[in-house]
Amino acid sequence: MLADWDGRATIPLAGEDVIIPSHWQMLYDIPVAEAVAITSLEVHGKLIFEPGQDRLMKVYNLWVRSGELQIGNITNPFLEKATIELQGDNTEEFFTFTKAIEAGNKNLVITGVANFYGAPRSNTRVRL
């Protein structure tokens, strides 16, 4: 069962901090033209990029904490363009994951599961 954004009729707004609870399974179905930069996204449940068109996620700090981020799967790869655009620069505030872990900005932290399946490619190098 797919959940909504905490009962709201609208998606998160620019600058918001978003947490996907462990009992949620969310579809990321935001069109590229409507993607706004959110401050942080913490995934405890499951976040799935919906296929069918290109997707763009703009976020300063993305932490797949105890949940799962899924873009395509082994039997149905994501054939469109999926982009996770990390926002920020070295003049902006740092992000604190816990009281013991501080990081800079432009964070992509996977302590849960992240599966990315796309179209087969001849070039297997990735630029991070």
pLDDT, mean of residues 36-57: 95
CB 107 within 8 A of CB 63: yes
CB 47 within 8 A of CB 18: no
Residue 21 and residue 63: Cα distance in Å, rounded?
A: 13
The residue ranges of every structural domain in the chain are: 17-116
CA dihedral for 30, 32, 35, 40, sign (positive or negative): positive
pLDDT in tens, 73-113: 999 999 999 999 999 876 766 666 666 666 777 888 999 99
Closest of 17, 23, 101 to residue 59, by C-alpha: 17
Q: Where residue 120 falls among pLDDT bands split at 50, 70, 90?
A: confident
Percent of the chain with pLDDT over 90: 61
Where helices occur in the chain by DSSP H, the ranges are none
Residue 33 and residue 53: Cα distance in Å, rounded?
A: 11
Q: Where residue 1 falls among pLDDT bands split at 50, 70, 90?
A: very low
pLDDT in tens, 3-24: 455 555 567 889 999 999 999 9
Other Cβ atoms less than 10 A from the Cβ of 22: the count is 12
